[in-house]
Amino acid sequence: MPVVRISGHGGVHALAVAREYGVPTMFTLSGGHVFPLYDAAVKGDGEAGGGQPMRLVDVRHEQTAVFAAEATARLTRTPGLAVVTAGPGVTNSVSAVTTAWLNGSPMVVLGGRAPDYRWGAGSLQEIDHPPLLAPVTKRAWTEHETANLARSVDAAFRLAMTPHRGPVFLDISLEAIYGQAEAELPAAGLPAAGLPPAGPPDPEDVSRIAALLRAARRPVLVLGSDVWLGNAEYAARQAAEELRLPVIANGQARGVLPAGHDLLATRARSLALREADLVIVAGTPLDFRLGYGSFGPENAPAQVVHVADAPGGIATHRPLAACAAGDLAAFFTDLVAQAGAPGRAPTGAAEDWLPQLAGAVRAAHAMDAPLLTSDAEPVHPARIYGELLTVLDDDAVVIGDGGDFVSFAGKYIEPARPGGWLDPGPFGCLGTGLGYAIAARLARPAAQVVLLLGDGAAGFSLMDADTLVRHRLPVVIVCGNNGAWGLEKHPMRALYGYDVLADLQPGCRYDEVVRALGGAGEIVTSPGEIAPALRRAFAANCPYLVNVVTDPEIAYPRSTTGV
């Protein structure tokens, strides 16, 4: 491989490497500490192999930049890049970096940093960032030398992409980023199409799981986001189909089996996890979303198998019947090889198990129907989903940012394909919405992008509708406007018999906010107006907020608190 020399300021060095990793876009908010990165993005890095200019998307709050980089990673499975200026630029990004950390999203955050030569004298925004970021990143450190920067940025991307994936933070001192140097591009093995996958899991671990599966009467397979991030969606589907396993899909694995698939048991989730005797969880932690990994009847708890893309991801807080760590696609392929038998369903599953779950799925859908078509006024939030379901394309990207309104979405929207559903994940951070929407429009230029936004959630990022407008990124935003922090209001009432601090302005014109910023929108107060408003929103080809005033008394029927 020819050696490529990089010559120029630190920005040229950093971006030469980012390009090698296939980074399509830099998300940022301006600050003098990081100008050289912009300069390199605008000019390309001619001397280092003729790099092309990189797309720059400038936002209105650093957390939006980091959320956008995270969503880019989750949608494209190439690493995201956010650049934030020193001090408040970095501190403003912490919640979004933490979201990426808990989601295992591969991304690099490059920060500016006050100059080394004055360190301790109190220059503008002088603060040591890595200790703030270390607990929520795979690694956080500082580069002080221009000549080392390419190597450090290479290490950052490589680490971010190595399973278990996650965010990496690197700040660059003012001298290092503005300084000039020559260096070699660390070319060894830089693959535009991603790093080679993790090694396969130990075949003996898979063999133990296959044995458990053969003996199980009521097995369930739970799939999580790493199945998608690890390119294991086809292998997972094949395993479910070959082994006739009912599947519950979470996060970005929703859609691995499309809505209506006979093995998709997500809507029968409580029954499936309550009655199971074996639960195999792959690609997601055994956290509060999965009852911390306790399944099955109380008097006969299910055996639990945890499969993760790296050994550190295997749960330690509960006993496991077996576990396996490694490339998830290899795991599913090996599981079929070891548990399957040509021409017949290989498990010892009870004959009535799948029909029982399919019956529960049918019953759940039948229960939905009256709410999805509800004519109630004020609007029942479910009616919004009844209308959306009729217009969503198979490749739509659906983003949820909010409380109860998004829980309803999780229940009613069953994606047709994996990778297109973006919820905030286990950190549960409000404010992901606009950043995720910006990234989704760029990652999937021809697909519908729908942001489901609580009116409370809107307050965290709606100003970035301005970013959608400036960068000409059409997105349909549906605001479920119940005039309340609904997910707090109803639980507080249940606890104390009253609620406080849970009300927002009733009927607030969030649509006018988007109009004022140069987009479009309208308010909807009756159920019959929802469908025509959605049609206008999808046809508008600009950022469009449909502000649906919903009934504040409707609470999502919640069975867990997350605690």
Q: Which residues bind ligand TPP (CB under 6 A)?
A: 402-405, 428-431, 454-457, 480, 482, 484-488
Contact window for Mg ion (CB under 5 A) among 120-128, 281-289, 452-460, 539-547: 452-460
Report the nearest approach of ligand TPP to the CB of residue 28 (Å): 22
Amino acid at 239: A
Which CB, 186 or 486, lies closer to Mg ion?
486
Per-residue DSSP letter, 136? G
Report the nearest approach of ligand TPP to the CB of residue 458 (Å): 7
Q: Which residues sit opposite 9 in a β-bridge?
A: 180
Applying CB under 5 A, which of residues 346, 386, 420, 456 lies at the interface with Mg ion?
A: 456
Residue 454 interacts with Mg ion (CB under 5 A)?
Answer: yes
Q: Using CB distances below 5 to 8 A depending on partner kind, what does residue 428 bind out of ligand TPP, Mg ion, none?
A: ligand TPP
Which CB, 272 or 479, lies closer to Mg ion?
479
Q: Using CB distances below 5 to 8 A depending on partner kind, what does residue 111 bind out of ligand TPP, Mg ion, none?
A: none
Applying CB under 5 A, which of residues 378, 386, 486, 521 lies at the interface with Mg ion?
A: 486
Report the nearest approach of Mg ion to the CB of residue 66 (Å): 24
Report the nearest approach of ligand TPP to the CB of residue 406 (Å): 7
**Binding mask of the shown chain, residues 71 to 90, with x at each position contacting Mg ion by CB under 5 A:** --------------------
Q: What's the CA gap between 98 and 157, in Å, rounded?
A: 17
Q: Using CB distances below 5 to 8 A depending on partner kind, what does residue 457 bind out of Mg ion, ligand TPP, none?
A: ligand TPP
Report the nearest approach of ligand TPP to the CB of residue 438 (Å): 19
Q: Using CB distances below 5 to 8 A depending on partner kind, what does residue 51 bind out of Mg ion, ligand TPP, none?
A: none
Which CB, 54 or 94, lies closer to ligand TPP?
94
- DSSP characters for 448-481? -EEEEEEHHHHHHHGGGHHHHHHTT---EEEEEE
Report the nearest approach of ligand TPP to the CB of residue 446 (Å): 29
Contact window for Mg ion (CB under 5 A) among 218-226, 409-417, 421-429, 478-486: 478-486
CA geometry: angle at 78 spanning 73 and 83, to 5°?
Answer: 60
Closest CA to 247 of 263, 259, 231: 263
Report the nearest approach of ligand TPP to the CB of residue 425 (Å): 11
Which CB, 255 or 480, lies closer to ligand TPP?
480
Q: Using CB distances below 5 to 8 A depending on partner kind, what does residue 175 bind out of ligand TPP, Mg ion, none?
A: none
Residue 381 interacts with Mg ion (CB under 5 A)?
Answer: no
Applying CB under 5 A, which of residues 455, 464, 511, 522 lies at the interface with Mg ion?
A: 455
Which CB, 486 or 543, lies closer to Mg ion?
486
Residue that the structure tokens 């799948």 belong to? 354
CA geometry: angle at 433 spanning 412 and 33, to 5°?
Answer: 160
> How many helices, marked H, and strands, marked E, lie in the chain?
22, 19
Token digits of residue 306: 């945890």
- The SS3 call for residue 91 is helix
Report the nearest approach of Mg ion to the CB of residue 479 (Å): 9
Q: Using CB distances below 5 to 8 A depending on partner kind, what does residue 488 bind out of Mg ion, ligand TPP, none?
A: ligand TPP
Residue of closest CB approach to ligand TPP: 454
CA distances from 435 to 68, 69, 463 (A): 4, 8, 11
Contact, 401 vs 430, CB < 8 A? Answer: yes
CA distances from 234 to 35, 81, 255, 417, 524 (A): 42, 28, 11, 11, 41
Q: What's the CA gap between 514 and 474, in Å, rounded?
A: 12
Q: What is the CA radius of gyration of the chain?
A: 24
Contact window for Mg ion (CB under 5 A) among 90-98, 317-325, 446-454, 520-528: 446-454
Report the nearest approach of ligand TPP to the CB of residue 142 (Å): 28
Q: Which residues sit opposite 548 in a β-bridge?
A: 480, 524
Residue 277 interacts with Mg ion (CB under 5 A)?
Answer: no
Report the nearest approach of ligand TPP to the CB of residue 428 (Å): 5
Report the nearest approach of ligand TPP to the CB of residue 342 (Å): 49
For the beta carbon of residue 160, count every other beta carbon within 10 angstroms.
27
Q: What's the CA gap between 112 and 157, in Å, rounded?
A: 17
Order the strands of the 107-113 sheet from edge to edge: 55-58, 25-28, 80-84, 107-113, 167-173, 139-143
Read off φ and ψ for residue 157, nearest 5 degrees. Answer: -65, -40
Q: What's the CA gap between 345 and 336, in Å, rounded?
A: 11
Q: What's the CA gap between 542 and 519, in Å, rounded?
A: 6
Q: Using CB distances below 5 to 8 A depending on partner kind, what does residue 4 bind out of Mg ion, ligand TPP, none?
A: none
Amino acid at 353: W
Which CB, 170 or 484, lies closer to Mg ion?
484
Closest CA to 39 of 6, 69, 9: 9
Which CB, 202 or 551, lies closer to Mg ion?
551
What residue ranges bind Mg ion (CB under 5 A)?
A: 454-456, 482, 484, 486
